[in-house]
Amino acid sequence: MSREVVAIVGRPNVGKSTLFNKLAGAKISIVEDTPGVTRDRIYADVEWLNHNFTIIDTGGIEPTTDDKMLSYMRKQAEVAIDTANVIVFVVDVKSGLTDADYKVADMLRRAHKPVVLCVNKVDNREKLQYDVFEFYNLGLGEPYAISSAQSTGIGDMLDEVVSHFNEENADNIELDLPRIAVIGKPNVGKSSLINKLLGEERVIVSDIAGTTRDAVDTVVKYNGNEYIFVDTAGLRRKNKIEKEGLERYSIIRTVSAIEKCDIVVLLIDAVEGITEQDAKIAGIAHERGKGAIIAVNKWDAIEKDDKTMYKYLGNVDTTLSYMTYAPKIFISALTGLRINKLFENIDIVIQNHALRVSTGVLNDVLYDATAMNQPPSDKGKRLKLYYMTQVSIKPPTFIIFVNDKSLMHFSYKRYIENRIRESFGFRGTPIHFIIRERKEKGK
């Protein structure tokens, strides 16, 4: 089932980010500290009552403004509203009901999405109770009184949020088909690639950065197989004042598309080379355990010699050192160069992303690995690896039982991962490990 997305919206200075940080800090999923992965702070994974979902923070909405940065913040919020399954509308009890609140409420009604009205800064519920009731006038149902600073009322608000989740998500009708998200910067050729796959101009293609406003699901047939491709808006940079708003604007779409896919195809511009923005996008996919293919596009547009490809591969491996498992291909969305190789790699990654290995075979590999490279020790105590078993797929996830988690150094875990990859492949998919302590018998 795809992860639900919850957008937090409202006027500036009503406490949206405080609420976001409270939710993220208290219930955020554990993410391994992998070197080289860049994280963007506008989204977080949250768990509440066995529901796992993604929250998105947005800039404040000023319904009518000529300020350039505020305009981008409003656009960013509109994107979040379009993307979200549920919207949390935050208002401020201390400033009271404002004309801007009414205008934001009208915007949310037009979105036809579930809205949970959240009245923030209610530090004294008895004293401010009647001030909370004033927000019924927005016509969005019951206002939930909370204090983000004091962590009060948030549980009731989250109960209402998760009650709107669709457990039988209609999108799951299509989830039997693999979902492929095409991600990357603007003008890298995402829409052109999908059009080449379709053989028609189904997706609008333009040289204007940011043309793709919505994530578009498209069914593509190739060699008798069907795939769902998702085109996404990329990261766009212009001048300094627009930089932050536009990055946040586009990452909202990218995060949503990645959440709902199985595999990502990260397009890199051969002319420009791999950039920090590419690393940021790749890091999001890696953190979420998605299968990945790196496709260097516009390969027909550069002058090449016998060392050009190796140079690109070296730069990609250096910048995306945490994603060396991803196959890399050099394509042209314009001419169709190596498009067949793209599908070959997609099929391989789909298979590996769902690969399951028997426990007996896994532990044979673990035994050989520890025999060849003795586990580390500290202050006379040596790490012991008792047992390993695979607990899930997409991505392949393994539990390793040890005597002391603190002795499981990152480098040794990477060594175990490399031995697993040598034995079973897992090309194109990240591998996740869960380390558990188990007491030795007789102790």
pLDDT digits (tens, 9 = 90+) for 64-90: 666 665 565 566 667 778 778 899 999
- Return d(Cα 287, Cα 38) in angstroms, integer: 10
Is 427 or 54 the better-scoring residue by pLDDT? 427
pLDDT at 2: 61
Residue 137 pLDDT grade (very low, low, confident, very high; cuts 50, 70, 90): very high
pLDDT digits (tens, 9 = 90+) for 164-179: 997 654 444 444 789 9
Q: How far is CA 75 from the centre of its chain?
A: 20
Residue 401 pLDDT grade (very low, low, confident, very high; cuts 50, 70, 90): very high
Q: Are 345 and 428 in contact (CB under 8 A)?
A: yes
pLDDT at 359: 95
Threshold 0.95, pTM exceeds: no
Q: Are 339 and 300 in contact (CB under 8 A)?
A: no
pLDDT at 267: 94
Can you say whether the dihedral through the CA atoms of 282, 283, 286, 288 is positive or negative?
negative
pLDDT at 18: 86
Count CB-CB contacts under 10 A for residue 68.
12
pLDDT at 353: 97
The secondary structure of residue 29, as a DSSP letter, is P
Q: Are 260 and 2 in contact (CB under 8 A)?
A: yes
pLDDT at 51: 87
pLDDT at 135: 95
The residues facing 291 across adjacent strands are: 263
Backbone angles phi, psi at 145, to 5 degrees: -85, 125
| 437: Cβ contacts below 8 Å, ≥ 6 apart | 401, 402, 403, 404, 405
Number of helical (H) and strand (E) elements in the chain, helices listed first: 12, 17
Residue 211 has pLDDT above 70, yes or no: no
First to last CA, the chain: 42
pLDDT at 257: 80
User: Residue 178: in which H helix or E strand, if any?
Assistant: none
pLDDT digits (tens, 9 = 90+) for 22-42: 888 754 333 333 443 333 347
Radius of gyration over every alpha carbon of the chain, rounded to an integer in angstroms: 24
Choice among 79-83, 151-155, 192-196, 326-330 with the minimum mean pLDDT: 79-83
Tell me the pairing of strands 43-48 and 432-437.
Answer: unpaired
Q: Are 285 and 266 in contact (CB under 8 A)?
A: yes
Highest-scoring range by mean pLDDT, 8-17, 137-146, 165-174: 137-146
Is 319 or 197 the better-scoring residue by pLDDT? 319
Q: Are 231 and 203 in contact (CB under 8 A)?
A: yes
pLDDT at 192: 87
pLDDT, average across residues 191-210: 64
pLDDT at 94: 92
pLDDT at 194: 83
pLDDT at 247: 52
Distances (CA, A) of 100 to 52, 62, 148, 217: 32, 7, 21, 34
User: Residue 416: in which H helix or E strand, if any?
Assistant: helix 410-424
Residue 169 token pair: 């998500």
Q: Are 310 and 276 in contact (CB under 8 A)?
A: no
pLDDT digits (tens, 9 = 90+) for 256-304: 788 878 999 999 999 999 998 899 889 999 999 999 999 999 999 999 8
What secondary structure does DSSP assign to 270-336, as a single string?
TTT---HHHHHHHHHHHHTT-EEEEEEE-GGGS---TTHHHHHHHHHHHHTGGGTTS-EEE-BTTTT
pLDDT at 386: 94
Is 253 or 148 the better-scoring residue by pLDDT? 148
Residue 400 has pLDDT above 80, yes or no: yes
Residue 443 has pLDDT above 60, yes or no: no
pLDDT at 107: 87
pLDDT at 68: 60
Assign 139 to helix, strand or coil.
coil
pLDDT at 224: 83
